[in-house]
Amino acid sequence: MQSIWAAAFYFNPNIDNLYSFQEALYFSFITFTTVGYGDVVIDSEWKILAGLEAINGIMMVGWSTALMFSYLQIILKKNISE
């Protein structure tokens, strides 16, 4: 997921702050996880895109956690019934 966001930032011709795909991937990972160190920033008119990525990251972490606990609950119920 982060590589898709990184590609969206890197290949956008209006964002000139990201000089390599590795830097775009780093920015994407930091934004997706909502750490936000601030060492790599993009132009102010594209910050809404970074905000959307952060919201997407929060939702994906929550969804992944819920899915993991759901599977664990199914496994535990199966083991208890046996």
Determine the length of the chain: 82
Q: Which two tokens stand for residue 82?
A: 């046996």
- pLDDT means per 10 residues, the chain with 82 residues, are 88 87 92 86 86 93 96 94 78
* Number of domains into which the chain is organized: 1
Q: Output the domain CATH number for residue 35.
A: 1.10.287.70
- The DSSP string of 19-82 is -SHHHHHHHHHHHHTT---SSS---GGGHHHHHHHHHHHHHHHHHHHHHHHHHHHHHHHHHHH-
pTM exceeds 0.95, yes or no: no
pLDDT, position 38: 83
Type of residue numbered 44: S
For residue 28, the enclosing domain spans 2-81
